[in-house]
Amino acid sequence: MFLDYDGTLTPIVKKPERAFMSEQTRNAVRELAMTFSTSIVTGRSCDKAKGFIQLDELHYAGSHGQDIQLNDGTDPFQPNSEYLPVIAEATERLKEAVREIKGASVENNKFCVSVHYREVRREKDKDLLKNIVMRTVTEEFPDLKVTNGKKVREVRPGAKFDKGDAVKYLLQQLTNKHSWDSSRILPIYIGDDKTDEDAFKVLSEEGGFGIRVCKWRKRTAAEYSLKNPSEVKEFLEKLVRWRREQDQV
Ligand SMILES: O=P(O)(O)OC[C@H]1O[C@H](O[C@H]2O[C@H](CO)[C@@H](O)[C@H](O)[C@H]2O)[C@H](O)[C@@H](O)[C@@H]1O
């Protein structure tokens, strides 16, 4: 199982630092991880995701998959580690560049930077922020790129490594480690945002399926949908119940 965090396990809230997961969802994810191998694939840094989720049973792929930490304590896989200094520099530069925009905030996620505008009220300030981010990255940090999320601009390494690549890597590592028969694996990925689409595409190629969390129909590579994090929690609980019933047969 592969699970995104924000908007999937927790509802979207105004302040990123307050995206806490409910105790019920934590229990559901704990039970899930005891039943199926479970990984979190998130835009947050691994440290932040672990801080919110607080479950050691999980594997974590933070910073949009660029920091992969298995639950066995082996060294993390960080394919874009050479970008760390430039990301740190870009974080400081972007903080300075959007300082005057009321409601803007900049979040360092180790291998990427999120520039948030959810709390920016005026449309012209939102446009200003988007332009500043694009201009700063293009002119001052040509090795980085900008992608869009939910009321956020994500500044990431230019080299390609996305959530889809992270899912491929995790599937390969876990299959080898547990000597799984790959024809008997059914990978499932649940996510709510554009960056999750890279993972949905990989899931189809790998014989699994994606579930997009969205209130209304969206153009997506996912085969199925759930309406909100509360439906996600129910789905995870049902999956665990189903597996346990199968084991009793
Ligand atoms: O891959 P994810 O786990 O979905 O992370 C994507 C980004 O999520 C967070 O931002 C989003 O959620 C915030 C809290 O609900 C919300 O305030 C913000 O507007 C959303 O864009 C997180 O703060 C980012 O760093 C992640 O990249």
- CA 49 to ligand 1: nearest atom: 3
Distance 183 CA to ligand 1 centre (A): 34
Spatial contact of 239 and 249, defined as CB atoms under 8 Å apart: no
What was the pLDDT predicted at 217? 82
Task: Let me know whether 69 and 88 are in one domain.
Answer: no
107-158 confidence digits (pLDDT tens): 999 999 999 999 999 999 999 999 999 999 999 999 999 999 999 999 999 9
How many structural domains is the chain composed of?
A: 2
Answer yes or no: are the C-beta atoms of 143 and 158 closer than 8 Å.
yes
Q: How confident is the model at residue 247 (pLDDT cuts 50, 70, 90)?
A: confident
Last-in-domain residue among 106, 140, 157: 157
Confidence at residue 75, expressed as pLDDT on a 0 to 100 scale: 96
Q: Which domain holds residue 107?
A: 81-157
Residues with C-beta less than 6 Å from any ligand 1 atom: 4-7, 12-14, 16, 19, 42-44, 107, 109, 114, 116, 118, 149-152, 154, 193, 195
- The answer to whether the beta carbons of residues 83 and 109 sit under 8 Å apart is no
Task: Classify 192 as helix, strand or coil.
Answer: coil
- The amino acid occupying position 223 is E
- Tell how far the Cα of 242 is from the centroid of ligand 1, in angstroms: 31
Residue nearest ligand 1's atom 15 by CA: 12
Say what the pLDDT of residue 233 is: 98
CB-based burial, 186-201: b 16+ in 10 Å, e otherwise:
ebbbbbbbebbbbbbb
Q: Based on the domain organization, do 184 and 226 belong to the same domain?
A: yes
Distances (CA, A) of 160 to 65, 66, 156, 190: 11, 10, 9, 22
- Which own/partner pairs from 223-226 qualify as long-range (CB within 8 Å, at least 24 positions apart)? 226/190
For a pocket test of ligand 1, which of 47, 126, 152, 167 has the largest count of ligand atoms closer than 8 A to its C-beta? 152
Res. 182 pLDDT band, cuts 50 70 90? confident
- What is the CATH classification number for the domain harbouring 126? 3.30.70.1020
> pLDDT tens digits, residue range 37-91?
999 999 999 999 999 999 999 999 999 999 999 999 999 999 999 999 999 999 9
- How many angstroms does the Cα of residue 205 sit away from the middle of ligand 1? 27
Report the distance separating Cα 230 and Cα 232, nearest Å. Answer: 5
Q: Whole-model pTM above 0.80?
A: yes
Q: Say if residue 96 is in the same domain as residue 147.
A: yes
Give the residue from 8, 76, 83 showing the smallest Cα distance to 46: 76
Which pLDDT score is estimated for 227? 97
Q: Report the CATH number at residue 183.
A: 3.40.50.1000
